[in-house]
Chain A
Amino acid sequence: MTVYIIRRILGLIPVLLGITLLVFFLIRLIPGDPVITMLGDRASPQDIERVREQLGLNDPLHIQYLKYMGQLLRGNLGQSIINRTDVTFELAYRFPATIEMVISAMLIGVSVGITVGVVSAIRRNSWFDVLGMIGALLGVSMPIFWLALILIYALAVNRTVLPPSARLDVDLYVRRVTGFMLVDTLLEGDVYAFFNAIWHMILPSLVLSTVIMPALARITRASMLEVLRQDYVRTAWAKGLAEKVVVVRHALKNALLPVITVIGGQLGGLLGGAILTETVFSWPGMGTWTYRAILSRDYPIVQASVLVSATVYVFINLAVDILYAFIDPRIRYN
């Protein structure tokens, strides 16, 4: 197992290097001069030249890349071109908000998706199965920003059943320790603020969870139907085991293998979907930050957030692969 993990981690090095290369060159293709964006149209050519020199933009591209990698390895993601803030600092500030939303969306998506898939499979062709699969089909076909707006209209605009934006009510204050609102409220011992934070998180997380929920429901159903036909499940039924035991211990455990792969693959969808969800819900995470940076051509920010998202995605996929190999020994021996 250790050899397998080491081999997989080593295999990531070229991919990570490729990511930095692609991000570095892609961002440099952005039309328009970032120095003019920074100094304004009326800046003198001398000033523009001086700042270009300062930022190292006059160096050949490969030197710029090497300098960029040197900084990156020291954990320095550069400075925002527009407001001169430290990108690493701001990223650390915004990252927890996005991750908190992505994790809660994942929890909702996985639990609802798998439950719907399992029940649909064991009650095949029932009304639950039909409705569940229609729901899953509509779910994959729906733009999440549209669903977000419809839910905001239904639940937050005319009747404030759920709050449409922010991570906490404006009259509440929680000291920032980790940046994860649920953790910080608990560290502060403020139960009211904790539930308020959950209250604020429901709508964005629910919307984001629809990115993975339909796919999980469909793959779980298909995988369960496959497993339920196997001889060992028939034997379990024949032994007179309770339905719960047969379904959960014998069938679901084996049906989960393809589901785990799908969860890993869908994570990219969650990270991408976070941009749209955060924009609609004015969530102060990486998504809104990246989006604004793209519009204002603040490329150190775009570079940093694309890089971080891709790296997180790569590592989560690695974790999924390792988990998969852990569950299914056939994989690591190949």
Chain B
Amino acid sequence: MTQLVDNFDSMQKKPRSLWRDAWRRMRYSITARIGILIVCIITLAAVLTPLVDPYDPKLDSDLSSARQTPSMQHIFGTDRLGRDIFRRILHGARLSLSVGIVAVLMAGSIGTVLGLVSGYFGGTTDMVIMRLMDILMAFPSMLLAIAIVAARGTGLFNTVIAISVVGIPGYARLVRSMVLSIREREYIEAARMVGVRNVRIIFRHVFPNSVAPVIVSATLGIGSAILTAAALGFLGLGAQPPAPEWGAMIADGVPFLRQSPHLVFFPGMAIMLSVLGFNLLGDGLRDALDPQMQE
């Protein structure tokens, strides 16, 4: 009898949402948990380091302790100007994470709006937007990013712009393909029949139903944005010295590779770990949101 009542009670509960279900599935995945852990550590480093340890990269050099190997005092050693590599990596987390997140937010929102408009209205609008996206996609992404930074000048802000522009077509295509199937559903037709305006249909009914894959793609996108930013930094086109940008730190260590490989090794590990964190989280999210794809 008690069991029957319990069952009835549980039937009365509100049904679990897509996100709640996904979160429950993610908690059982070891790889997703590792991803969440890494992302949390990087986020904490990015947020807390500037508060706990105020840092001015221009004033941070001590030539008397240049290129020291890792020790108790400097756990990752020091660079060619005697700066503590561990400290610079922690401060660099803020740069890499903000480039990754801002670039993905920009690319994701512009791409999503273009995809929604293109998929919903179809016809000439769709054709024009998609041909523009084809042209952007015709460029190898790294090359296009380099060309944009070259055109706009070096620096962190232009790196963000370049990575965003390169990312837009991916989101536009993804959202468009979702919209094409959603716009044929009955509830969209019903909304149209009762005279709801197109903008409202797009943002209230179509968008919420196509947001899950965009979030998965954006999580994975943060990882690749960090990689591209590091590559631009390595080529001297990203954040400029003395900013503690990870790619630029590697480039700084290249002339000393033979004698002091730690100058190159540790910043590279930081890039790899943070990208790995976002990739694991993105994979976990995708599996959790679409269990059929888990294979």
Q: Which residues of A contact B (CB under 8 A)?
A: 14-15, 18-19, 22-23, 26-27, 29-31, 137-138, 140-143, 145-146, 149-150, 152-153, 157-158, 222, 225-226, 267-273, 275-276, 279, 290-291, 294-295, 297, 302, 306, 309-310, 313-314
A226 to B273, alpha carbons, bound, how many Å?
30
Determine if A149 and B250 form an interchain contact, defined as CB atoms under 8 angstroms apart.
yes
B258 nearest CB neighbor, chain A only: A157
CB-CB contacts below 8 Å: B170-207 with A:
none
Residues in chain B near residue A290, CB distance under 8 A: 143, 146
B122 at the A/B interface (Cβ < 8 Å)?
no
The CA-CA distance from A138 to B237 in the complex, in Å, is 25
Complex CA distance for A138 and B151, rounded to whole angstroms? 33
Q: Which of B236, B247, B261 has the most CB of A within 10 A?
A: B261
With a cutoff of 8 Å between Cβ atoms, the chain A residues found around residue B123 in the complex are none
A225 CA / B293 CA spacing, docked (Å) = 11
- A residues near B132, Cβ cutoff 8 Å: 18
Instruction: Flag if B140 contacts A137 (CB, 8 Å).
Output: no
B97 to chain A minimum Cβ distance, whole angstroms, is 15
In the A-B complex, the 10 residue pairs with the closest CB atoms: A272-B142, A146-B268, A18-B135, A268-B140, A141-B276, A141-B275, A272-B140, A29-B151, A271-B140, A294-B150
Chosen A-B contacts, 22 in total, with CB atoms closer than 8 Å, are A15-B135, A18-B138, A19-B135, A142-B275, A143-B234, A145-B247, A146-B271, A153-B257, A268-B139, A269-B140, A270-B140, A275-B142, A275-B143, A275-B146, A276-B231, A276-B235, A291-B146, A297-B150, A306-B139, A306-B143, A310-B143, A313-B140
B39 at the interface (CB under 8 A from A): no
Measured between beta carbons, the chain B residues less than 8 angstroms from A150 are 261, 264-265, 268
The residue from A225, A271, A279 contacting B295, defined by CB atoms under 8 A apart: A225
In angstroms, Cα B235 to Cα A86, docked, is 26
State how many angstroms separate the Cβ of B262 from the closest Cβ of chain A: 11
Instruction: Give the size of the chain B interface in residues (CB under 8 angstroms).
Output: 45
B142, B146, B231, B280 pick with most chain A CB within 10 angstroms: B142
Using Cβ atoms and an 8 Å threshold, which residues of chain A touch B280? Answer: 137
Interface-centre pick from B135, B235, B254 (highest chain A CB count, 10 A): B135
Residue in A27, A157, A313 whose CB lies within 8 Å of B257: A157
Residues of B within 8 A of A153 (CB): 257-258, 261, 264
Q: Which residues of B contact A29 (CB under 8 A)?
A: 151-152
B282 CB to closest chain A CB (Å) equals: 11
- In whole angstroms, what is the CA distance A204 to B261 when docked? 19
Q: Any chain A CB within 8 A of the CB of B50?
A: no
State the CA gap A255–B264 with chains docked (Å).
Answer: 40
Q: Is the pair A30, B230 in contact by a Cβ cutoff of 8 Å?
A: no
- B44 within 8 Å of A (CB atoms): no
